[in-house]
Amino acid sequence: MTSLADSASDKSRPGQSTQTQTMTIGEFLLRRLREAGIGHLFGVPGDFNLELLQQLEDTGSLKWIGNCNELNAAYAADGYARLNGMGALTVTNAVGAMIAINGIAGAYAEHVPVILITGSIPLRSIERNLGMHHSTGDGTWDRFLGAFAQVTAGEARLTPFNAVTEIDRLILTAWREKLPVYMELPSDIAYLDVEVPVAPLDMAEPSSDPERLRSCVEAIASQMSNAKSPAILVDQDVGRYGAATEVMGLAEKLQLPVAVTGPAKGVIDETSPHFAGIYNGKGSDPRTREAIEASDCLLSIGYRPIDGTSGDFTAVLPANTIRARGHSVDMGEANYQAITLKEVLRGVIDAVPQASSRGNGHWAGAMPAGTHPDGSAKLTQAAYWEALQGYLQPGDVLLTDNGTSYAIFGFRLPPKCTVVASVIWGSIGYSVGALLGTLTAAPERRHLLFIGDGSFQETAQELSTMLRHDCKPVIFLINNGGYTIERGYMGKTSDYNDIARWAYTELPKAFRPDTTARSFMVKTVGDLERALSAPNDSLILIESVMDPYDAPAAVIHSSNNGAELDYGPRGPQHRGNAQLLPAH
Ligand SMILES: Cc1ncc(C[n+]2csc(CCOP(=O)(O)OP(=O)(O)O)c2C)c(N)n1
Ligand SMILES: [Mg+2]
């Protein structure tokens, strides 16, 4: 049923329909998620969100993907958002939400728009102060709103009074700020009718202030076109704001090098002659470091210097660096607000003259030379990563977890690949949940997971959800009996870095008895080659057994450095044989 709101307000906002219709709060919420491009809802049911799930089932508005637990659901919604632009999950009050909070905080750290809907205590119980289950039992109701306020860009408890405005505010906040949001849907309001707009949610970014945009574009264009060695440093927000095409357009126009940080791996095409490698302070290839640090006009976009993106704080960006973000630019004395990254970049591309070549193609470091071991040789990390580099195809989605699987940051990626990782937050097990999300968002692509046994054991049960939905990822699991990356910090031989030895290849059958998954236990180079030739027509699990003290040199160096920063010069890492050290 639709009704026309007063025509005066129609006239005052040309082009914007103010028509309204009656809808239940729950159905309106699901409709808005759909309009925001979300086609799937992850989560775990509970009595406080079953009514919303019933509305989802009745309306068919979204597809439900139930998870084994709420942490995996949060990771899945994050992985989904990486490819789809936005993701959502629903959990039950407190007990579900407090499991999901690690994943939501991770989305906050990694700038991922995830919408968490907690089915919460009925308003009736709150008004009458009735003690309820899934609460702290002390008559307080706001603790979890408070907790999520710390790790989201916005939070609200919906009421029939505020639902229409709060749902739109939170979804748009997530979308514009590329951050998670938290909403509580009290279980007794989802079926109540409210008047809601007929028009779909307008997902457009707020338009730039014309003068600010013009001035900003002029300032950047003039500084960059007068420079002798301009360069661009790309961090992950370039991917989040979908501005990679514009960055490469500018690189082409000014014939300049573009380096990325680790978290932005894969955001720009690594086969481009403008690709200048991964910048990480003194941890960079010398040519990458030179291109960035010796530039006389560096445009850095969204750069967030932390230990892992600054070479443990050895990064030195030029003093006149232009610092652009999703919605602002800071350069010299000037600060530009009310602008959008894409519009700025497009304006600069139009404003600068086409430059001639500056010797492109020599900025990025070369791949390490091959080791070419024979087939019967015991599998080493060096041979493993070399073989996997050869397995990559254009368009692959690569997920990695913490651990020696960080080696994928050394891959030279084919075109159109996407990398999904949680480099800043770094919660192990993230990648398994995220894999379910990426598979759901883009089933037509090939998804490769690179993970260690320790990370896998955190969230392994979500494999069952992938098998349940006939997903076809390739899972590269390193079985080295524990936390090798941690052995490079401390406890090289300590049992706190050991884990239980699982029968990994038997898990697909345990999780789905009629599975068609292909499982391989790999011990030699030849075993790995055979596993890699399996067709991608079902889930593939490749368990590679490797030595606990074998790790890529870059991982060991980073762990050794990390121990110095973490424990200081008096720490226990200097005891004899305390650390896994690089082989000499
Ligand atoms: C939730 C969480 N708990 C603990 C850690 C600390 N941590 C970081 S890496 C790691 C070990 C990873 O081991 P594994 O996945 O087996 O990788 P490997 O180095 O052995 O290849 C641990 C325990 C973490 N990052 N996140
Ligand atoms: Mg391990």
- Per-residue confidence (pLDDT) for residue 374, from 0 to 100: 86
Distance (Å, whole) CA 453 – CA 547: 12
* Confidence class for position 4, pLDDT limits 50, 70, 90: very low
pTM to 2 decimals?
0.96
DSSP for residue 447: E
List, for residues 435-487, the tens digit of each pLDDT value: 999 999 999 999 999 999 999 999 999 999 999 999 999 999 999 999 999 99
The H or E element that residue 419 is part of is strand 418-420
Ligand nearest to the CA of 430: 1
Supply 364's token pair: 């990025």
Nearest CA to ligand 1 atom 18: 403
Beta carbons of 561 and 504 less than 8 angstroms apart: no
Ligand nearest to the CA of 451: 1
* Confidence class for position 202, pLDDT limits 50, 70, 90: very high
Distance 451 CA to ligand 2 centre (A): 8
Mean pLDDT score of the chain: 95
Ligand 1 atom with minimal separation from the 487 CA:
19
Say if residue 372's pLDDT is above 90.
Answer: no
Q: Is the CB of 457 under 6 A from ligand 1?
A: no
Distance (Å, whole) CA 237 – CA 303: 8
CB atoms within 10 A of CB 231: 30
Say if residue 360's pLDDT is above 60.
Answer: no
Residue 310 has phi, psi (to 5 degrees) of -125, 15
- Per-residue confidence (pLDDT) for residue 12, from 0 to 100: 42
Of 14-28, 69-83, 434-448, least confident by mean pLDDT is 14-28
* Confidence class for position 371, pLDDT limits 50, 70, 90: low
Q: Is the CB of 486 under 6 A from ligand 1?
A: yes
Say if residue 162's pLDDT is above 70.
Answer: yes
CB atoms within 10 A of CB 195: 12
**Ion ligand 2 neighbours, Cβ < 5 Å:** 452-454, 480, 484
Residue from 404, 428, 453 to probe ligand 1 pocket by mutation (most atoms less than 8 Å from CB): 428
Ligand 1 atom with minimal separation from the 499 CA:
16
Q: Is the CB of 454 under 6 A from ligand 1?
A: yes
- Per-residue confidence (pLDDT) for residue 369, from 0 to 100: 59
Looking up tokens 């480099």, which residue turns up? Answer: 423
Secondary structure string (H, E, C) spanning 197-249: ECCCCCCCCCCCCHHHHHHHHHHHHHHHHCCCCEEEEECCHHHHCCCHHHHHH
Say if residue 1's pLDDT is above 60.
Answer: no
List, for residues 563-581, the tens digit of each pLDDT value: 999 999 999 999 999 999 9
Q: Which residue, 48, 52, 20, is CA-closest to 33?
A: 52
Percent of the chain residues topping a pLDDT of 90: 92
Q: Is the CB of 148 under 6 A from ligand 1?
A: no
Q: Which residue, 443, 364, 366, 456, is CA-closest to 403?
A: 456
Say if residue 420's pLDDT is above 90.
Answer: yes
Distance (Å, whole) CA 343 – CA 321: 20
Residue from 69, 110, 484, 485 to probe ligand 1 pocket by mutation (most atoms less than 8 Å from CB): 485
Distance 35 CA to ligand 2 centre (A): 42
Supply 116's token pair: 């968490």
Q: Is the CB of 453 under 6 A from ligand 1?
A: yes
Nearest CA to ligand 1 atom 4: 428
- Per-residue confidence (pLDDT) for residue 367, from 0 to 100: 54
- Per-residue confidence (pLDDT) for residue 5, from 0 to 100: 40
* Exposure class string for 556-574: b at 16+ Cβ within 10 A, else e: bbbbbbbbeeeeeeeeebe
Nearest CA to ligand 1 atom 6: 428
Say if residue 365's pLDDT is above 80.
Answer: no
- Per-residue confidence (pLDDT) for residue 373, from 0 to 100: 78
Distance 310 CA to ligand 2 centre (A): 26
- Per-residue confidence (pLDDT) for residue 10, from 0 to 100: 41
Q: Is the CB of 478 under 6 A from ligand 1?
A: yes
Average pLDDT over residues 327-333: 97
Say if residue 363's pLDDT is above 60.
Answer: no
Distance 96 CA to ligand 1 centre (A): 24
Distance 482 CA to ligand 2 centre (A): 4
Ligand 1 atom with minimal separation from the 452 CA:
15
Looking up tokens 């704080």, which residue turns up? Answer: 313
Ligand 1 atom with minimal separation from the 454 CA:
16
**Residues with catalytic annotation?**
47, 70, 133-134, 426, 453, 480, 482, 486
List, for residues 528-556, the tens digit of each pLDDT value: 999 999 999 999 999 999 999 999 999 99
Say if residue 194's pLDDT is above 60.
Answer: yes
Nearest CA to ligand 1 atom 23: 483
Distance 334 CA to ligand 1 centre (A): 43
Q: Which residue, 200, 107, 12, is CA-closest to 433?
A: 107
Nearest CA to ligand 1 atom 5: 428
Distance (Å, whole) CA 540 – CA 508: 9
* Confidence class for position 16, pLDDT limits 50, 70, 90: low
Q: For residue 386, what are the contacts with CB-CB under 8 A and spacing of at least 6? A: 370, 371
Of 56-70, 73-87, 345-359, least confident by mean pLDDT is 345-359
Nearest CA to ligand 1 atom 10: 483
Nearest CA to ligand 1 atom 13: 483
Q: Is the CB of 485 under 6 A from ligand 1?
A: yes
List, for residues 274-315, the tens digit of each pLDDT value: 999 999 999 999 999 999 999 999 999 999 999 999 999 999
Q: Is the CB of 404 under 6 A from ligand 1?
A: yes
**Bridge partner residues of 282 (DSSP):** 280
Nearest CA to ligand 1 atom 26: 427
